[in-house]
Amino acid sequence: MKLLTLNCHSWMEENQQEKIKIIIDTILQKKYDIIALQEVNQSIDKKVLFKNIKEDNFALTLINELKKSGCSEYEMLWDFSHIGYDKYEEGVSIITKHKIEKAYCFFATKSEDTSFWKTRKIIGASLNIKGNLIDVYSCHLGWWNDEDEPFKEQAHKILERVNDDRLTFLMGDFNNNAFLRGEGYDYLIGKGMYDTYSMAKEKDNGVTVKGKIAGWNENKEDLRLDWILCNKKIQVKYSKVIFNGENRNVVSDHYGVEVKIEEGEFNG
């Protein structure tokens, strides 16, 4: 069972089509079961194709490119969080090859104003994996000490939806540095979440951001902002940073994280 999380920074990257190809080739080779994506953009002025999905939706673009490559087993969920850079509807997405039994969408922030760039929405799904229901959420949260939308309140809204009776994954860009004590990472771990990175038998340094990026304009450090957490202790074969220039070429201002869960965790 392979999981991937990636903040795509979509349609804002140089050589975007080349980077889409890198992502597609990686999905085809790795055959991820669940993919959580953040900063999944679509243009405000593009045509709506179905529901709230427009023709240049980045997750839809990935699905279509996979189909062109002969892979039709993935389906997607997407929802809109806020306007970005005055021209995009920025959202979060889940792409999976497993049956989606139920989809979830909710605001993690106090604000539900999509014109406010700090407004955050979470998308989730209950997936049928080998006869078991497993929940997964794609998360793009705010900063620990943000005056308008503090991280702790957003985290609480997610945690109150975690079903203790089933395995649940929180995947995404948490905008908190896991190397820094006493902030967002420690808060979630203190609330009973487990880090797949910590549980992994094989792991690297975990760094997903180097230097300054949007939202971390003064940063000069190596950061671990992108995590895959779960609500139960499980056997994790490995946790690897991907799209970092060493494990595949860079495709975004964030690197991705891939984990492999031991198959026994999903056999019921």
Cα–Cα dist 84/90, whole Å: 6
In a domain, 80, yes or no: yes
- Residue 40's pLDDT is what? 98
In a domain, 124, yes or no: yes
Q: Give residues with Cβ within 8 angstroms of 55, minimum separation 6.
A: 42, 46, 47, 48, 49
Q: Using an 8 Å Cβ cutoff, are 237 and 202 in contact?
A: yes
Q: Using an 8 Å Cβ cutoff, are 92 and 140 in contact?
A: yes
State if pTM tops 0.85: yes
- Residue 218's pLDDT is what? 82
- Residue 268's pLDDT is what? 41
In a domain, 268, yes or no: no
Low-confidence ranges of the chain (pLDDT < 70): 265-268
In a domain, 266, yes or no: no
- Residue 265's pLDDT is what? 64
Cα–Cα dist 152/146, whole Å: 10
Parent domain of 170: 2-261
- Residue 140's pLDDT is what? 98
Of 111, 17, 103, 104, give the one whose Cα is nearest residue 68.
17
Total domain count, the chain: 1
In a domain, 214, yes or no: yes
CATH of the domain at 24: 3.60.10.10
Cα–Cα dist 83/76, whole Å: 21
In a domain, 267, yes or no: no
- Residue 263's pLDDT is what? 75
In a domain, 75, yes or no: yes
Q: Using an 8 Å Cβ cutoff, are 158 and 137 in contact?
A: yes
